[in-house]
Structure 1
Amino acid sequence: MIDIQNITKVYKTKNGELTAVNDVNLSINKGEIFGIIGYSGAGKSTMIRLLNGLEKPTTGSVIVNGQDIAKASGNELRSARQKISMIFQHFNLLWSRTVEENIAFPLEIAGVPKAKRAQRVEELIELVGLKGRGKAYPSQLSGGQKQRVGIARALANNPEVLLCDEATSALDPETTESILQLLLDINKQIGLTIVLITHEMHVIRKICNRVAVMEAGKVVEQGDVLRVFQHPQAPITKNFVSKAAGETQETQASLEQILTNYPSGKIVKLTFAGATTEQPVISQIIKQFDVVINIVHGKISTTTGGSLGTLFVHIDGDKQQIQQALQFLKQHEIQMEVIEHD
């Protein structure tokens, strides 16, 4: 569906050249939700502008459904952009137009007859959950409702790809969840390919099938979301994953206190993924080995690829029994990390 080949984007500034995207290769499948995550300055916003043709790469190609967007121009580029829609962090609605008129705007530009426009607008209002709000103006809507209008407008011309540029960053957590669920529902209903740009790993965890992690213009890691959460490789990915898993500074401070209070035994971080989250390993260890286990902290979250659980436990007892218990965990394909003092 989307094939990004050796993309590099270099800007010329008064201080010299700035490489915003550096030799990136990505392949995005038709109908999947693909996340691109990175902090400010990572190059993800430039990537999204390269995807919709607002920027031309210095080198490389952006193939969307067999067409190289990087080489398209004029009518060819305008036609290609009609199949690549976008929603934004700050909604970008027309404040003097009603909900219906905002959604109808791209249809007007495309020359769709009035009767067909009205029918399509009605369908989209129903799809995004805004029935009864068609005559309202943006100033009369909540943040979540504004983003729903933005999504409806982006879908007006039946695009093949929807680009989401930090689409939930301006929303509160509860509204963020509802918008992400809407995007997930739309993806399932119409098979729309979604490329989601964000700096929040919980957004990736919630709805994405695969993810690419960007840092300093490069993709430093990519893969299935569940695999990346279970086995993060790059330091920046480990940082994103730990924050999404709720491992805050308070958690680390609590672990340090636990290590102080329990000088014997081991504090172990266990990570469960997929089917392993349903295994009763703690009770099995207690039955099979002469050890005492205290659960310090735990959390289970879900990804599109399955459940992901993190559990911190204190294991105490005979050293040999503890080692046998740890070996038991390894044999059951549970990722394990013994926590030591910093």
Structure 2
Amino acid sequence: MISLKQLSKIFKTSASTITAVDSVDLSVDEGEIFGIIGYSGAGKSTLIRILNMLERPTSGNVTVADKDMSSLSGRSLREARQEISMIFQHFNLLWSRSVKENIAFPLEIAGVAKEDRNSRVHELIDLVGLKGREDAYPSQLSGGQKQRVGIARALANNPKVLLCDEATSALDPKTTDSILDLLTDINKKLGLTIVLITHEMHVIRKICHRVAVMEAGRIVEQGPVLDVFRQPKEEMTKEFVKQVTEPEETMESISDWLHDKNQGPIIKLMFLGEDAEQPVMTELIRHCGVAVNILQGKVSKTREGSYGTLFVELQGEQENLDKALQFLEDHRVEAEVLKND
């Protein structure tokens, strides 16, 4: 559906030259939810704007839905853009228009007849869960409702691709989850290809099939979300994965254990897929003769399966502790010793 080959974007000023996107190769499959994650300044916003030619690349090729976007201009570019919609962090709604009028706006521009417009608008209002709010104005809506309007408006012309530019960054965690659930539902119902950029690994973990990590304009790592969670290779990727597997509040809660010399080894265990739902700890205690003190734990769901992390203290003779670590390895549980006094 989307193919980027040796894509670069260079901004030149009187004082300097900035390479915002640097030789990026990327492909997104039809019907996939693909995430691009990076900190501010990584180049992800520039990259996503190049997909619909809001920014022209300095070099390289952009193909979306079998169209070479970088070769299009004028009417042909406008027609191609109708297949690529976008939603934004700050909603970009027309404040003088009601919900239904905002959703109808792209249909008006496309010259769709009024009767057909009204039918499509009501269909979209039902899809995004805004029934009963058709006549409300943006100032009367919550942040989540505003983003639902933005999503409905983006879907008005039946696009093949939906681009999401930090679409949940302005929302609280509960509302973020509801919007991510909506995007997942839309992806399933419509087979829509979704590309989203974010700096939050929670967003990637919850809805994406694959992810690319950007740093200084380059893609430093990419792959299926579950694989990236299991074996992040680059330091940048490891930092993002820790947002989910080792959140700050978790590390604070076990900090006393890590510094207590009277405690046994502190082990971080990582479970993947079906293994995250198996009674491994029960078997560990039964077969290895160790006591297990569970300090903190969490099982997170990705699109492709579960990913669990568990922080434990092991107590027992050294021979049994070694046996326990071997048992975990044999059962495909990754174990990292955080403290071993």
Task: Identify whether the pair has TM-score above 0.5, normalized to the shorter chain.
Answer: yes
2:283 maps to 284
- Cα contact 1:272–1:335 (8 A) shared by 2: yes
Q: Deviations over 1:79-116 (max 9, x none)?
A: 11000000001100111111111111100111111111
- Cα contact 2:7–2:21 (8 A) shared by 1: yes
**Cα distance in 2 between the residues matched to 1:104 and 1:254:** 50
1:26 and 2:26 aligned: yes
1:11 maps to 11
Q: Deviations over 1:168-212 (max 9, x none)?
A: 111111111111101100000010000011111101111111100
How far is the alpha carbon of 1:237 from its aligned partner? 1.0
1:91 maps to 91
- Cα contact 2:10–2:20 (8 A) shared by 1: yes
- Cα contact 1:265–1:319 (8 A) shared by 2: no
How far is the alpha carbon of 1:252 from its aligned partner? 3.1
**Cα distance in 2 between the residues matched to 1:215 and 1:194:** 21
TM-score norm. by structure 1 comes to: 0.97
1:169 aligns to what SS in structure 2? coil
In structure 2, do the counterparts of structure 1 residues 114 and 294 end up closer, same or farther at CA, with 3 Å as the change threshold? same
Mind listing any 5+ residue stretches in structure 1 that lack a counterpart? none
1:201 and 2:201 aligned: yes
1:328 maps to 327
**Cα distance in 1 between the residues matched to 2:288 and 2:272:** 24
In structure 2, do the counterparts of structure 1 residues 264 and 153 end up closer, same or farther at CA, with 3 Å as the change threshold? closer
**Cα distance in 1 between the residues matched to 2:296 and 2:232:** 21
How is 1:95-114 mapped onto 2 (pairs within 5 angstroms)? 95-114=95-114
2:215 maps to 215
How is 1:38-49 mapped onto 2 (pairs within 5 angstroms)? 38-49=38-49
**Cα distance in 2 between the residues matched to 1:5 and 1:299:** 39
Q: Deviations over 1:290-325 (max 9, x none)?
A: 211111111111110111110011112111211111
How far is the alpha carbon of 1:245 from its aligned partner? 2.5
How far is the alpha carbon of 1:254 from its aligned partner? 4.2
**Cα distance in 2 between the residues matched to 1:42 and 1:23:** 13
1:36 maps to 36
How is 1:238-317 mapped onto 2 (pairs within 5 angstroms)? 238-248=238-248, 250-263=249-262, 265-317=264-316
How is 1:135-214 mapped onto 2 (pairs within 5 angstroms)? 135-214=135-214
How far is the alpha carbon of 1:253 from its aligned partner? 4.2
**Cα distance in 2 between the residues matched to 1:94 and 1:123:** 20
Q: Deviations over 1:219-251 (max 9, x none)?
A: 111111111111111111111111122431x53
In structure 2, do the counterparts of structure 1 residues 264 and 94 end up closer, same or farther at CA, with 3 Å as the change threshold? closer
1:175 aligns to what SS in structure 2? helix
2:196 aligns to what SS in structure 1? strand
- Cα contact 1:292–1:315 (8 A) shared by 2: yes
- Cα contact 2:254–2:296 (8 A) shared by 1: no
Residue identity opposite 1:333 in structure 2: R
Residue identity opposite 1:337 in structure 2: E
Residue identity opposite 1:321 in structure 2: N
How is 1:67-78 mapped onto 2 (pairs within 5 angstroms)? 67-78=67-78
How far is the alpha carbon of 1:59 from its aligned partner? 1.1
TM-score norm. by structure 2 comes to: 0.97
**Cα distance in 2 between the residues matched to 1:262 and 1:305:** 39
Mind listing any 5+ residue stretches in structure 2 that lack a counterpart? none
1:228 maps to 228
**Cα distance in 1 between the residues matched to 2:307 and 2:24:** 29
How far is the alpha carbon of 1:264 from its aligned partner? 5.6
Residue identity opposite 1:236 in structure 2: M
1:70 aligns to what SS in structure 2? helix
Runs of 4+ aligned residues of structure 1 deviating over 6 Å after TM superposition are: none
**Cα distance in 1 between the residues matched to 2:263 and 2:93:** 60
2:70 aligns to what SS in structure 1? coil
1:188 aligns to what SS in structure 2? helix
Percent identical pairs in the alignment equals 62
**Cα distance in 1 between the residues matched to 2:181 and 2:277:** 25
Aligned-CA RMSD value: 1.4
- Cα contact 2:257–2:263 (8 A) shared by 1: no
1:130 aligns to what SS in structure 2? coil
- Cα contact 1:265–1:322 (8 A) shared by 2: no
- Cα contact 1:84–1:162 (8 A) shared by 2: yes
